[in-house]
Amino acid sequence: MAKVQGALLPDHDGQAAGPVPFKEVAGVDAIPARPVTEHDAAISGMPRRLVYNNSLPILSYRGFWLLEDWARGTAAMADERRGGFVARPGDVMLATLPKAGTTWLKALAFATMARGLFPPASPDHPLRRLNSHDCVPTVESGLFACGREGVLDKLPSPRLLNTHLPLSLLPSSITDNDDCKIVYVCRDEKDRAVSTWHFIKRIKRIGSDVPFSEVYKSICEGTSACGPVWDHILGYWNASKKEPSRVLFLTYEQMLQDPMGTIRQLAEFLGQPISDAEEETGVVAEIVELCSLESMKKQKINREGSQGVGIKFSNDAYFRKGVAGDWLNHMTLEMGQHLDSILNEKFDGSGFTI
């Protein structure tokens, strides 16, 4: 059985219940971060550039631009000789571009999947004492990039995980596995650009004077982190059309407009449909309230804590406005139309529209 906060979790068919907050699993704290140097030769040979006030190196890794630490983590995930990432039956991978709604998606998916173990109305629910990033790890940057991939072996199944990687860079044990599911969230790139800009200004080594124009230009040119964004989006979009039972494609705007419908859709997709009894007792509304921006902002951990191993992020940096259309306060209509025209051209013929 798995141990969380000193308590043993019930087994199901001999396997511990999950998902659980990964930072509360027994033994996780004993796994130290370490420098990951095994792939230095390959990393050093990748094309690179400096971004955000020339403060962060970004590398071209098999057609996508990744922050250097993320590239190291991605290489480690793919390295089967040293173990790499090994999927388990029942694994759920939440995939997003950075600042596309990751924090909210982690909260919604965790609260939905773990509602039997942690009732959403409970005053001691993990999301009332932990940041959602403490519940769901980001595998390439939060584990493999800092040598803490051993955390994955400690987690009970089903594991709920997160990645910012494009589909083509995920290990085949995920992408070719009928027993693993992927949930992808896409956000209006104009709003994501604004959210990215506000977020990176909180990083000391970058500085608050980084111009918005640099973030905007990198997205338009396909050189932003995890970009080209159109290839990132289309990879998951096409997979969702080909295998809708394995890949669920959501939009941030859809989630904002109908959060209760999103939870029902998530639950159904993940094989845990909302029951009639749960509907009657208001479980869906309880999850919406628990995971709302207002509720998460109130939690002490989200006002005072921090995240990150190399680069530290204050937890409150993950909670700004969480709205659609804020781009109008930061760019001209012409800038918005220009970015939309680029994306429309890239998405032409795919069936996906912005």
pLDDT tens digits for range 8-27: 344 434 444 669 999 999 89
Domain assignments of the chain as residue spans, ordered by start: 46-347
Higher pLDDT residue, 6 or 346?
Answer: 346
Q: What are phi and psi of 283, to 5 degrees?
A: -60, -40
Environment class of 202 (CB within 10 Å of its CB; exposed 0-12, middle 13-18, buried 19+): middle
For the structural domain made of 46-347, what CATH number should be given?
3.40.50.300
- pLDDT in the model for residue 144: 97
What percentage of the chain exceeds 90 in pLDDT? 79
**Pairing of the two strands 247-251 and 181-186:** parallel
DSSP assignment of 228-242: -HHHHHHHHHHHHHH
Output the CA–CA distances (angstroms, integers) from residue 78 to 63, 72, 85, 170, in the order listed: 16, 10, 7, 8
pLDDT at 334 over 50: yes
- pLDDT in the model for residue 1: 38
Catalytic hit among 164, 198, 232, 338: 164
pLDDT tens digits for range 239-250: 999 999 999 999
Which helix (H) or strand (E) segment holds residue 22: the answer is none
Query: Is-contact 152 139, C-beta < 8 A?
Result: yes
Does 232 qualify as catalytic in the annotation? no
